[in-house]
Every structure is written in C-alpha cells, then in structure tokens.
Structure 1
Amino acid sequence: MYKPSYGYFIIMLIMIFGVTACGSTDINNYKSEKTVSVKDQSTGNYRGEKVEKAQNIASADPESLQDDDFEVSYRSHKIDKNTDIKELIHKWGYSEGFEANNRGYNSGNGTYRRWSLSYPNYEEPEIRFVVLSKIELEGEELVDGESYLVAVSLENPKFKTKRGLKIGDTLGKVLQLYGKPSIVTNGSLLYSKNGLHLRIQWDTETEKVNNIFIEYNMEKSVKQQRSADYVEEGAQPDPDLEPYTIQREQSFTTTLNGWGEVKFISTLKDEDTDDLIQAKFFLEANDEKHVENKILYEFPEFYGNNGKMIDRIKAVSFKDLNQDGRTDIVIIADYITGVNAHGIETLPVAGIYFQKKDNTYTTQPELDKSINQTGHNRTLQNVIQYVNKQRINVQ
C-alpha cells in the first residue's frame, strides 16, 4: 500500500514553496490585481484572467493541523476515526432511501462491501458516511459483519469543519483557514496528518467549495477490499486497478513496429492513494487471444514525473523522430506548480520514448531536459521541430 516516496517529499517542498508564494502574494498582498491561470472548462485549456482584489482573504498564518481538525459533529454526536458505525445505526436507523438505493451499495466482492449511509435521507443528504463491512452469512442471508467508518462527506452548508469551513466558502477561505495543502490537484486540496485526510473539493468555475470529505481509514479499506478481489493466477490486470487510472482521452489503438496493433494506455496514479500523482504508460493487447486486458509492456519512467505532481496528460503523438524506421512516442503533460485563491497553476512538461532495435523503448534524459529548459514543450509541433534538428542515435 502507500509508502511515502522520495518524490512525495519533493512535491511536498514544491507545494510548500508554491503555496507559500500564494500565501504571501494571494493572501498577504492581495491588494492589486493579478493575472492568474484559470482552467476553461469548455476547452480544457488555461487562460489568463484579471482577478480583482479578494476582499474575503485576510493575512493569515494558520495553526498546524491537529487530530481534532478531522472531527465533525452531527446530531450532537462526535464523528472521528474511532466512531462505531453500528452505534450510529442503532441510534438513527438506516434512514429513508436505504433499501431503494441498494442498501447504500458502492462496490464490493465476495468478502467485503463498501457502502454509504446518508442522513437524514438519500435524496437530500446532509452528511454521508462511507463504510466498509465484512460480508457474513447469517442463516441463509448475507449480512454486514464487522464494519468501520472509512470516511465522512459533508453535503450541506449548515455543517462546518472544526475550523469553520463549509460548502459554498471560497478557495481563498480554505487557504486562510488551513494554509498549505499536502497535495494539490485540479479541483481538490488535500490536508493530511497521522493517516487522516481532509479533502476539500471546489468548483473550478465558481471557485467555491462544493464538498468536504474527511478520510479516517481509507488506506486500510482499499487494502482490505483489493486484497480480497479475485485475480486469476498469472494474470496481469488492467491499469485501472491499483494504483493507476486510465486517461481514456489520451489512450489509443495504434500499430507499432514489432508489436502489431496494440492499445497505448495513458494512466495517472489514483489520487486516492494520497501519493504523488504521476504518469505511467502501457501497451495492452488488442486481439481476440486476449479477451481480458493484458499488459504487454510497461514504459520506462516518464521524464515529466521527476518529482512533479501531474495534473493531466495533455497530448500524445506517434512519429519516427530520428528517421530510423521505428515509431517513437512524444508525450506532453501539465504539472502543478502551485495553488492560489482561484485554483491551481500549471506548466507543460514533455518527454519522448524512442523505440530501440529490439522494439522496446528508452528515453534520452538530457534531450528531454533540453526540450523543457528551452521551452520547446508547449505543443507537439514544438517538440517535433526541435527534435528533428538534433542527432539522435538509438540502438
């Protein structure tokens, strides 16, 4: 399961400097207009935009997180990592809509089921509890056995966190109350301490908080549930499984030398792992012999990772760059440089995979470094034109 990596600590430093800059510029000195990078949802691109003085952001130096910052109160009952879910059910029942919503089912297998308990009902919930239960046989009926609270989601603005944050508050207020996040993604800030995680999600158009999600036992639940999943011996699973998620808009069926027709799969590490979100690429079988997903090849480390938090895979191109008759692959991603009161800030990063004589792929780190340092990394055409001028020999 998750183990802090060197890259994780690097990105922590990047976030500290990035958000510290936000703290001093966007919070302490937010008296002048500033052009920031904001994502246009219609195009997926980032646009420069003048942002007026944010009246609701004051100079702040929030206290460091404590365990009780992850506690919430509902119906005068304290909710924390030790909450007994069966005690809550005994007090409040299952609420209206439980059976109609397939008993709150989210996912499961023959050993565990992950489900949600919503109050006061499932149609207009104020709060939602995510639970993992071991499935047990009681007579001839399957029932929830040992259960524990995985996470809680605040769904209504009348409920606040310990520091007073609620749905509808601005991103600026999040930074004012909590300061530097542990991890930043587009639309989400994560604050962590001692295995507890406060995930604050905001609408990238309105720049207001639309969900507050507190994780108490997420890592434990993911490990238990996945360890019980049936995986055929010797099978190589689809990278949708732990810990990567397919980026389908940048995954393609293509024909490569020595491989024939294959699926090129772009993935990002699942942000629920609470690790550094990085890119990984695979070749997957695309024939009738492999009805199920079969990983044929895992590409080397992407240059764009290199201690960076990847926001998205931006572009992929298949082209013979060094005229050796083999198919090379150009990839451009956006990585996160920081966060301000209006969202995340990103920059592009490019990397190239050159196909070798044995049909596997390799990288040229010095060339990748040069592409990015000279700014020839913004479009596929930029990269290709720059590389065409270089002498590249790949064995």
Structure 2
Amino acid sequence: MYRQGYGYLIIMFVMILALTACSSSSIHDFNSGETATTKVKQEDTVYYPDKKADKAKNVVSADPKPLQDEDFEVFYQSHKIDKNTDIKELIRKWGYGEGYDNFNRGYVSGNGTYRRWSLSYPKYEDPEIDFVVLSKIELDGEELVDGESYLVAVSLENPKYKTKRGLKIGDTLGKVLQLYGQPTTVTNKSLVYSKNGLHLDVYWDTKTEKVDHIFIEYNMEKSVEQQRSGDYVEEDAQPDPDLEPYTIQKEQSFTTTLNGWGKVRFVSTLKDEETNNLIQGKFFLEVNSDKYVEKKILYEFPEFYGNNGRMIDKIKAVGFKDLNQDGRTDIVIIADYITGVNAHGIETLPVAGIYFQKKDNTYTTLPKLDKNINQTGHNQTLQNVIQYVSKQRINVQ
C-alpha cells in the first residue's frame, strides 16, 4: 500500500509540472501574439511629415538616427558600392553582365559627348542589381568607346540585397517609416530621403502597398548637367508637353474655344522640377489643327497657385467659365497635393487656383483671392469655387 501511494504521488507531481510548463508556454505564446499585434498596429500607424506631430509620435522608432553618408552605401557580392565606386573596377571584377550586347550595350540615352547606360548583374534580362553610368564618349581609332565614367545611381532589383538599414523589396511602407522616419520628399509613388546630394528613392506598389523598387542616386545632378550641356537646343524652341519634363494629364486636357484664341487645346501637365524635386502643375494652350503634324505651344500660363511649396499629386478638375461677368473666359483649376504618407500610401488635400483672362486675352492670377478660396475651404469642387468667387468684386484689366 505504501509503495502504491508513493507511486501515485510521483505521478501527480509530474502532472503538476507538465501543467505548469504548459501554462508557462501559453503565457509566452500570448505575449508573443501581443507583441506581433503591436507590431502590426505600429506599421499601420499614420505618419505625417508635416504638421500632425501628435500622430507622428506613435510611429515605431519615431526618432530614427539622422541620415549619414554611409546610409546610402550598399553591398553587392561583398563589394561596397558608394558615390566613389570605380566603374572600371566593377567591370574588371564581374565583366559587363550577361546580355550586355543584346541590350544595346545597356544604352539609356546620349548625345555626341556623353552616353548614359546601365551595367546589370548577373544578367540584363532579370538583374539583381543595376548600375546607372555616365561615360564620356571617346574615339579609339575608328571606334567609339566609353572614356571617363562614373556611377550615377544604383537600383536594387532583388529582395536579397538590402540598404544599410536593412530595407529591401517587399517590405511594407510601415517598415520604411520605421527605419528612416520622416522623408525629405513625398511623391505619388515614392518616398525620398536626401543628404549632401545623395538620394534614397523608395518606390512602392500602390496595390500591394509594399516596396517594389529601391533607387539610390549618387551623382544624378552632375550627370544631368553634363549630359544636357552636350545637347544642342535651339534658342527659340518652345516647350513641348509631349516631351520631358512634362507629363500630360490627358483626363484634364480639353479642346475648347477661348476669346481671342479661337479653338485651342488646353493642356494640363505635371512637371518634375529638378531644382527642388517638387512635382508641379503646368498649363498650356496648344494649336488644335490637323494640318500641324507637330503640336505647337501658343501660350504658357502663369505659375499655378497650387504649386506654392507643394508636391502636386494630380490635376483633379478644370473648369471654363466667365467668373467676373466681363465677357471673357476664366479658368478654374483644382489639384490634389500631397500632405503626408502612411502605411497604405499617400494622403492628399485639394488646392484651387484661378486664371482670369485679361483684355489682351492673356491670363493672370490673383494670389490673394486664391489664398482666401483655399483658407475658407471653398476648394473642394468647381461649384464650390464658382459660388465663392461669384460673391466677390473682381476687376481684371
């Protein structure tokens, strides 16, 4: 009896230990689940790079380390890539990459002086990494060859290669904000982090809300200036919205009839200003006639009020109406501008501006009126703007 009771006690003791272990394991699992949930919530936290500081404090790593030059370095096959990377050394080490000749020797653009091209590894068809290079064209006997060359930018094309802080393709926007904090610039498809002429451009897929492209610029400004200096440009050439740096907004471009101009094409465009990286709205009147094979710019409108220090996401609405009852056609523009970014993409607000037609048929703006329209919130729709302006006394000469 004694032995049987002793054995029973041992069994009971073992069962208590097992239950204790299970309980401990359950607690550990619960805490892990809570931590994971917290991380998800933190990644979804809204991040505002402008004035909404209260919510910005909730972002994971709300105070990431300031950017350093080394944050723009990457490593490919244990080789450090930075703004001083020797292109010829890369070629000596890895060659030109499979498919170099089939892809027109990596050609991107050029003129008689410079050639912009890509050096892709391990192959051009499906690269892991892509180096953008600018080379001065030199003559070797009767053959044109790449002379002095330098690294313009590098593009990470495969998730196994990360930035210095660990960002890779496939990461969420929340992860970007977690690692880098407030971006220097926000566009409708990318976050840009800049320091000392170096730029880390993080592009995302608007459907998956994940990083799909990482582009690091080392000597972009220098390359643009050098390549442009080798281009031949006619002094009297008119800007053409069909060419860079203008991108036509087709849904907000219309054929219309305006006083003094007749039947014309009103063209809405977005222009990427190289000087400050802000996407700006720009508007033109264009010839509307089948007899012109090439479009001709008749008139370039004054600066759009909505450009005032803002990054334009899109041109939202355009309206043609005589707003001040002077018999001339005025033009109302509403655009969306970017106010911030969160884990799901960009956030926008509307901004309106008006072009009033003068007696000589050109157009002008009234910045004070534009400011009042936007400060009072009468900028949501064309009807909002028209109703507000109809109550004002406006005299344009």
TM bin, normalised by shorter chain, reads: 0.7 to 0.9
Q: Distance in 2 between matches of 1:94 and 1:21?
A: 51
Q: Distance in 1 between matches of 2:239 and 2:276?
A: 21
The equivalent position to 2:317 in structure 1, one of 315, 318, 341, is 315
Deviations 1:5-49 (A, max 9, x none): xxxxxxxxx974347455324x1xxxxxxxxxxxxxxxxxxxxxx
Q: Distance in 2 between matches of 1:306 and 1:114?
A: 33
Residue type at the aligned position of 2:57: S
Aligned to 1:153: 155
Q: Is the 8 A contact 2:270 2:281 kept in 1?
A: yes
- Could you tell me how far 1:110 is from its partner in structure 2? 2.1
Greater shift in the superposed pair: 212-221 or 322-331: 322-331
Aligned to 2:348: 346
Aligned to 2:189: 187
Instruction: Give the paired residue count.
Output: 351
Q: For residue 304 of structure 1, give the secondary structure of its aligned residue in structure 2.
A: helix
Map 1:162-311 → 2, pairs under 5 A: 162-239=164-241, 243-270=245-272, 273-287=275-289, 292-311=294-313
Residue type at the aligned position of 2:320: F
The normalised TM-score by structure 1 is 0.82
Aligned to 2:376: 374
User: In the superposition, relative to structure 1, how do residues 20 and 197 fare at CA in structure 2: closer, same or farther (>3 Å)?
Assistant: farther
Q: For residue 61 of structure 1, give the secondary structure of its aligned residue in structure 2.
A: coil
Q: Is the 8 A contact 2:48 2:55 kept in 1?
A: no
Greater shift in the superposed pair: 97-106 or 367-376: 367-376
Deviations 1:75-97 (A, max 9, x none): 11110001111211111111111
Q: Distance in 2 between matches of 1:18 and 1:154?
A: 32
The normalised TM-score by structure 2 is 0.82
Q: Is the 8 A contact 1:167 1:212 kept in 2?
A: yes
User: In the superposition, relative to structure 1, how do residues 111 and 261 fare at CA in structure 2: closer, same or farther (>3 Å)?
Assistant: farther
- Could you tell me how far 1:363 is from its partner in structure 2? 1.5
Aligned to 2:90: 88
Aligned to 2:362: 360
Q: Distance in 1 between matches of 2:201 and 2:276?
A: 10
Residue type at the aligned position of 1:377: N
Q: Distance in 2 between matches of 1:235 and 1:105?
A: 27
- Could you tell me how far 1:284 is from its partner in structure 2? 3.3
User: In the superposition, relative to structure 1, how do residues 370 and 201 fare at CA in structure 2: closer, same or farther (>3 Å)?
Assistant: same
User: In the superposition, relative to structure 1, how do residues 259 and 241 fare at CA in structure 2: closer, same or farther (>3 Å)?
Assistant: same
For structure 2, the residue ranges without an aligned partner over 5 or more in a row are 1-46
- Could you tell me how far 1:167 is from its partner in structure 2? 0.7
User: In the superposition, relative to structure 1, how do residues 289 and 176 fare at CA in structure 2: closer, same or farther (>3 Å)?
Assistant: same
Does residue 23 of the first structure (1) align with residue 60 of the second (2)?
Answer: no
Map 1:59-70 → 2, pairs under 5 A: 59-70=61-72
Q: Distance in 1 between matches of 2:160 and 2:344?
A: 24
Greater shift in the superposed pair: 268-277 or 114-123: 268-277
Q: Distance in 2 between matches of 1:271 and 1:179?
A: 24
User: In the superposition, relative to structure 1, how do residues 149 and 207 fare at CA in structure 2: closer, same or farther (>3 Å)?
Assistant: same
Q: For residue 321 of structure 1, give the secondary structure of its aligned residue in structure 2.
A: coil
Residue type at the aligned position of 2:162: K
Q: For residue 265 of structure 1, give the secondary structure of its aligned residue in structure 2.
A: strand
Q: For residue 171 of structure 2, give the secondary structure of its aligned residue in structure 1.
A: coil
The root-mean-square deviation of aligned C-alpha atoms, in Å, is 2.3
Deviations 1:177-220 (A, max 9, x none): 11111000122000000000000011122111111100001111
Q: For residue 284 of structure 2, give the secondary structure of its aligned residue in structure 1.
A: strand
Does residue 333 of the first structure (1) align with residue 366 of the second (2)?
Answer: no
- Could you tell me how far 1:383 is from its partner in structure 2? 1.8
Aligned to 1:134: 136
For structure 1, the residue ranges without an aligned partner over 5 or more in a row are 1-13, 28-57
Q: Which has the larger radius of gyration?
A: 2
Q: Is the 8 A contact 1:61 1:176 kept in 2?
A: no
Q: Distance in 2 between matches of 1:233 and 1:71?
A: 40
Aligned to 1:383: 385
